[in-house]
Amino acid sequence: MMQWLVEHPQFLSVQLFVGGDSYAGLTVPLITKKIIDGNKEKAKPYMNIKGYLVGCPGTYSVIDGNSRVDFAHRMALISDEIYENAKRSCNENYINVDPANTACITAMGAIQKCLKDLSDKDILKPKCDLSSQDHPEGPDRRFLKEGSSEFLLSPSTFPKPWCTTLKLTHNSIWANDDGVQEALHVRKGTVPRWERCNNSLSYTQDVLSVIAVHKELSRSSLEEYKEKLMVVKIDHDSNPRLIEEFKVYGLPTLIFFKNGHEVPESRREGAITKAKLKEYVDALLESVSLT
Domain assignment present for residue 207? The answer is no
CB-CB neighbours of 94 under 10 Å: 21
Domain assignment present for residue 161? The answer is yes
Specify the pLDDT at position 153.
Answer: 44
Q: Tell me whether strands 257-258 and 253-254 are parallel, antiparallel or unpaired.
A: unpaired
Q: How many domains does the chain have?
A: 4
Q: Please state, in angstroms and rounded to a whole number, the distance separating the CA atoms of residues 153 and 134.
A: 5
Domain assignment present for residue 206? The answer is no
The residues facing 253 across adjacent strands are: 269
What phi, psi does 269 have (nearest 5°)? -120, 150
Specify the pLDDT at position 156.
Answer: 45
Closest Cα partner for 27 from 207, 233, 280?
207
- Expressed as residue numbers, the domain containing 111 is 61-115
Domain assignment present for residue 131? The answer is yes
With b for 16 or more beta-carbon neighbours within 10 A and e for fewer, the 239-259 pattern comes to eeeebeeeebeeeebeebeee
Same domain, 132 and 196: yes
Domain assignment present for residue 255? The answer is yes
Domain assignment present for residue 65? The answer is yes
The list of the chain residues with pLDDT below 50 reads: 130-157, 291
Q: Please state, in angstroms and rounded to a whole number, the distance separating the CA atoms of residues 64 and 58.
A: 7
Is residue 259 left, alpha or beta, with left meaning phi > 0 and alpha meaning psi from -120 to 50?
left
Domain boundary among 167, 201, 235: 201
SS3 146: coil
Q: 288 with 280: CB under 8 angstroms?
A: no
Which pTM was predicted? 0.64
Same domain, 87 and 31: no
Same domain, 143 and 110: no
Same domain, 227 and 276: yes
Specify the pLDDT at position 277.
Answer: 84
Domain assignment present for residue 234? The answer is yes
Specify the pLDDT at position 56.
Answer: 85
